[in-house]
Structure 1
Amino acid sequence: MTHYLKHSLIIVVMPAFAILATVAPLWGLAGALALVLYQIAVDIATPRELAVPEYRHPWLINAVPYVHIPTSAFALLMLAWMAAPGDLFGIGQALDGVLGTSLATRPEPASWGALAAAAVTLGFVMSTNTIAAHELVHRTASPFAVWLGRWILATVGDAQYSITHVYVHHLHVGTPHDPSTAKRGENLYGFALRSIRGQYRDAWQIEMRRLRERPWLLRVLGNKVTTGVAMSGTIALGFYAAAGWRGVAAFAVVAGTSKFLLEAVEYIQHYGLVRTPGGQIESHHSWECSSRAASHIMYNLPRHAHHHLDARLPYSALKPTAEAPDLPYGYVAHILLSMAPPLWRRFAAPRLAKWDAELASPAERELAQQANRESRLPSYAALAPAERP
């Protein structure tokens, strides 16, 4: 039973955080910080999560990502209630009746500061929506799964991800054609801007090619980039109806926080790794990090090398890959480290040198040396791994 429950933690945590963040925003922020510290502590202090259980009821474990639909709807409803004047749908009175408190029945609307704190907290917790949706949009044999995955993505303003991740990232990872592969020496913030621009550009081009036989107007209106924006726009419209521009601003903060954290995850997953365009994708083209807490909360996403070797596999079937380069401290710790570019570059430099020397093919070694020079960083330009025997 533990193996079924461990990946369900976030769908329990999200509604709890939705209430805590909107009723007591500072406590919500403190709870988010505690969750971060908890993940770091578990990932560093416990052995790697190497188990690959056999599930007698695979439908149950594969159904977990779908539960992000109602939990996300609840979280966004709570945020709309907080942003709205009065007691939207009587939610505050109902909460106080259940909790036996008088916290939720506010005499005045929440302040902008409190609303921002709640939106950041929910953006942090709801960043897992992209990971749940990531699982569903890879189930390309099921249009229903992909459609629901796009709606989960729309709750964090990023439905286009369903296109670029599947049809660009997985084809071109490690090459200049993939905007989601971070270059050597590139800092997280510059990467995030470049990656987002590239994703929307590539998604638009893919969709326009798919619809090339249709009239131009139908290509624009039927484009999944357009419809994805419309899906998030529908949610934003609901916030506007409930709380005016305060509500729209709160939703924008949730989406922006979630998207930035997604880009931080993508930054560490392939940072500095290179691949010959058109070459086979192998285990050494992804950083592996089978840490326990991250594997549970992120649907085994840290087992990233195996995911790129066979993206059709459900998350429950992914295995640790010993041949892949390793991130030693856990996903959350590395994400925080990447937010301090000098520390991240210092951390990554020796590991990239080791990758060049021990894992890269001769052609990739040349690409790596070119990337080191193009980084214009002395510490990277000086990397010159010894030839493999």
Structure 2
Amino acid sequence: MKDYFKYSYLLLVFMPLTAVCVLAGGWWSLVAPNAVILFHLIYDNVSSPDIQTRPIKYKGILNFMLYMHLPASLGLVFILVWQSAPGDFLGLGAWLTELTSIELLKAHNDMSLSQLLSAAFAVGFILSTNTLVGHELVHRTSHKLSMFVGRWLLAIVGDAQFSISHVYAHHLNVATHEDAATARRGESLYAFFIRSSFGQYQESWEIEKRRLKNRGTSILSLRNRVLSGIAMTLLIAVCIILIAGWMGFLLYTVLLLTSKF
């Protein structure tokens, strides 16, 4: 059981915790990222190193957990959008208040800008795991479902291009100056964040340019996976703006930057 739990505890424990904390309003959202940090600090120091390789009998369970990250991620984004939207979008607050007898609507209506930004940080913090799960799935280049789920997980955090640059550039050029995803000696974290983010998009664009040229297809089409990935993220952003206006877009931007960082 431990072998299954250690690959799914983020989905089963910390994503629901983040959802509850963000729904609670106020400063409760900051409990979630601090709980994640505290758990790992304690567990890493009190547990012994596990270097054994054990066979996993029910691999389908773990694959299912990977796929479930997509609806869980969308659910967290929706909760954040609900908090930033005026009124009670889709009656979520009234329904949960009736279900739990907790005055969530009052907390929702009393949310300040700083509290909303904290909620966006909390959701972005836990959705940084989308890159971990997406990383696993986009390596399965011949499996259509894995690629679909993996690219959408990455698109939610504005990084669908990762499915290109990581597989076809990073693995080829790792630990060299040609690799945008490799930090350089003496480079600050902030300089690396900027250079790597833009550099990976450039790598992906060049890869797609060569691929489509060999196929006789225009690079300015949705067959270009860089453009289709951007379109996926833009679709999410447009939906957020339609629901929560520019406040929702601001929070989504904070989510994207937190997750990427």
Structures share fold, TM-score greater than 0.5: yes
| Distance in 1, Cα, partners of 2:108 & 2:182 | 49
Larger radius of gyration: 1
| Distance in 2, Cα, partners of 1:146 & 1:107 | 36
CA contact (8 A) 1:136 1:149 kept: yes
Using a 3 Å threshold, how does the CA distance of structure 1 residues 256 and 25 change in structure 2: closer, same or farther?
farther
Using a 3 Å threshold, how does the CA distance of structure 1 residues 166 and 31 change in structure 2: closer, same or farther?
same
Which structure is higher in helix share? 2
Decide which moves more: 87-96 or 13-22: 13-22
Decide which moves more: 36-45 or 155-164: 36-45
CA deviation after TM superposition for structure 1 residue 6, in Å? 2.1
SS of residue in 2 equivalent to 1:181:
coil
| Distance in 2, Cα, partners of 1:190 & 1:157 | 19
Deviations 1:243-300 (A, max 9, x none): 111111111111110001xxxxxxxxxxxxxxxxxxxxxxxxxxxxxxxxxxxxxxxx
Tell me how many residue pairs correspond in the alignment. Answer: 259
**Aligned residue identity for 1:3:** D
CA contact (8 A) 1:137 1:149 kept: yes
**Aligned residue identity for 2:84:** A
RMSD: 1.6
CA contact (8 A) 1:23 1:104 kept: no
CA deviation after TM superposition for structure 1 residue 62, in Å? 2.4
In the superposition, the TM-score normalised over structure 1's length comes to 0.64
The aligned counterpart of 1:6 is: 6
CA contact (8 A) 2:117 2:254 kept: yes
CA contact (8 A) 1:96 1:105 kept: no
CA contact (8 A) 1:207 1:223 kept: yes
| Distance in 1, Cα, partners of 2:211 & 2:26 | 45
**Aligned residue identity for 1:75:** L
Unaligned runs of 5+ in 1: 261-389
**Aligned residue identity for 2:207:** I
| Distance in 1, Cα, partners of 2:31 & 2:107 | 21
1:44 correspondence with 2:45 = yes
SS of residue in 1 equivalent to 2:103:
coil
Deviations 1:97-156 (A, max 9, x none): 222211334573632211100000000011101101111000112122112100011111
**Aligned residue identity for 2:109:** E
In the superposition, the TM-score normalised over structure 2's length comes to 0.94
Using a 3 Å threshold, how does the CA distance of structure 1 residues 202 and 83 change in structure 2: closer, same or farther?
same
CA deviation after TM superposition for structure 1 residue 163, in Å? 0.5
CA contact (8 A) 1:68 1:129 kept: yes
SS of residue in 2 equivalent to 1:7:
coil
| Distance in 2, Cα, partners of 1:41 & 1:200 | 37
The aligned counterpart of 2:176 is: 175
**Aligned residue identity for 1:96:** T
**Aligned residue identity for 1:6:** K
| Distance in 2, Cα, partners of 1:11 & 1:107 | 25
The aligned counterpart of 2:152 is: 151
SS of residue in 1 equivalent to 2:7:
helix
Deviations 1:2-51 (A, max 9, x none): 21122111112213312312423412213311320221121122211223
Decide which moves more: 51-60 or 200-209: 51-60
**Aligned residue identity for 2:232:** M
CA contact (8 A) 2:26 2:111 kept: no
Deviations 1:329-361 (A, max 9, x none): xxxxxxxxxxxxxxxxxxxxxxxxxxxxxxxxx
Residues 1-389 of structure 1 aligned to structure 2 (within 5 Å): 1-12=1-12, 13-106=14-107, 108=109, 110-212=111-213, 213-214=215-216, 216=218, 219-260=220-261
**Aligned residue identity for 1:222:** R
CA contact (8 A) 1:82 1:109 kept: no
**Aligned residue identity for 1:197:** F
CA deviation after TM superposition for structure 1 residue 69, in Å? 0.9
Report sequence identity in percent.
39
| Distance in 1, Cα, partners of 2:156 & 2:19 | 14
CA deviation after TM superposition for structure 1 residue 195, in Å? 0.6
**Aligned residue identity for 1:214:** G
CA deviation after TM superposition for structure 1 residue 172, in Å? 0.9
The aligned counterpart of 1:335 is: none
CA contact (8 A) 1:85 1:109 kept: no
**Aligned residue identity for 1:256:** L
Using a 3 Å threshold, how does the CA distance of structure 1 residues 205 and 99 change in structure 2: closer, same or farther?
same
